[in-house]
Structure 1
């Protein structure tokens, strides 16, 4: 039998658009998008218990870090490199200027902080500075406090920080409290 030229054989593709639309909706509904983690930080209470938040803060107890739009780093109005920042922070925090700190090893410099509990780190960044440089500053800051707490842990408990109990960790945090403030240079 001979096939007629007028008959067209093929598939009915009328419902293909409906199927593609249903598949699109299915994948949109079932797909999950990962959320950006960002920098984890814990916002402090407005005024912690046992702390006099109305007390005047002396200028020598503030270590100022400035990052300008050219990504130049200044610590207490002196141009420094990121490699020098950690040592500068440690010297400032561990200074023991008022000689009230029994565990401090600082030089007792009268122009630096009185003791670790009064030391405040102030970070000022320009909006046009890079995020990578800001993260490097944060890393050096956290590293400085970690090293100070590690040294105190060895001296006081004869243990590494990761081997301490929760109570011992709290004692280290009270000895070297992490007190920072951040501001935008453009404000």
Structure 2
């Protein structure tokens, strides 16, 4: 009995369809590009740059994360990560003295701060520096969580002041300013809030 050849299936059309579907999903899929930590690296200083001013110890809030992912503040006591934002807010918003001049004006007290004005804590938000130290063994998740809480402290303070001055949160002002870059009024409001609560976070080289 003669062997009958089975008809071949033409897969060319299926390959075309799969290729078109691949292109469709690549074009329509949205990518989340808002994740990560926003940091601006300092510019290289010229050789003849003046010596930086000496900082008062009380104007530096030291946060240390060890290899066991434990968080130590001010070299004195350990706290949980969910308490870090509250401690950072207390330090930044203390308002215990005079700040650096803003827009050429004379140094003045922080009349928008709502802190306790503790003379042993920071003088002014534009003098308050948060220094973050980590260990090479610190887990990435803990490092990101600590960063998130520190940045969140500034967000809370900026939103509070913006609501007080303009009746809108800083996040909303910033979003609208980005969507409408020609709106000078929004830009001025955003810059005013940033000047009053500048985000100053210093990161030391991880220790071994």
TM-score interval w.r.t. the shorter chain? 0.7 to 0.9
Counterpart contact for 2:63–2:133, Cα < 8 Å:
yes
Aligned CA RMSD, in angstroms, stands at 2.6
Task: Provide, for residues 129-151 of structure 1, a one-character-per-residue CA deviation record: whole Å limited to 9, x for no partner.
Answer: 10000000111011110000001
2:195 equivalent in structure 1: 174
Moved over 3 A (4+): 36-40, 44-47
- Distance in 1 between the 2:136 and 2:74 partners? 20
1:107 equivalent in structure 2: 116
Normalised by the size of structure 2, how large is the TM-score?
A: 0.66
1:95 equivalent in structure 2: 94
Normalised by the size of structure 1, how large is the TM-score?
A: 0.73
* 1:159 and 2:159 are equivalent in the alignment: no
* 1:150 and 2:159 are equivalent in the alignment: yes
Shift of 1:186: 1.9
- Distance in 2 between the 1:64 and 1:79 partners? 12
**Aligned with 1:184: secondary structure?**
coil
Counterpart contact for 1:127–1:184, Cα < 8 Å:
no
- Distance in 1 between the 2:39 and 2:125 partners? 21
Q: Could you say if the C-alpha distance between residues 53 and 91 of structure 1 is closer, same or farther in structure 2, counting changes exceeding 3 Å?
A: farther
Shift of 1:160: 1.7
Counterpart contact for 2:159–2:171, Cα < 8 Å:
no
* 1:75 and 2:73 are equivalent in the alignment: yes
- Distance in 1 between the 2:135 and 2:90 partners? 25
Q: Could you say if the C-alpha distance between residues 111 and 186 of structure 1 is closer, same or farther in structure 2, counting changes exceeding 3 Å?
A: same
Q: Could you say if the C-alpha distance between residues 38 and 87 of structure 1 is closer, same or farther in structure 2, counting changes exceeding 3 Å?
A: closer
Q: Specify which of 60, 63, 68 is matched with residue 61 of structure 2.
A: 63
Say which one has the larger Rg: 1
Counterpart contact for 1:95–1:115, Cα < 8 Å:
yes
Q: Could you say if the C-alpha distance between residues 127 and 110 of structure 1 is closer, same or farther in structure 2, counting changes exceeding 3 Å?
A: same
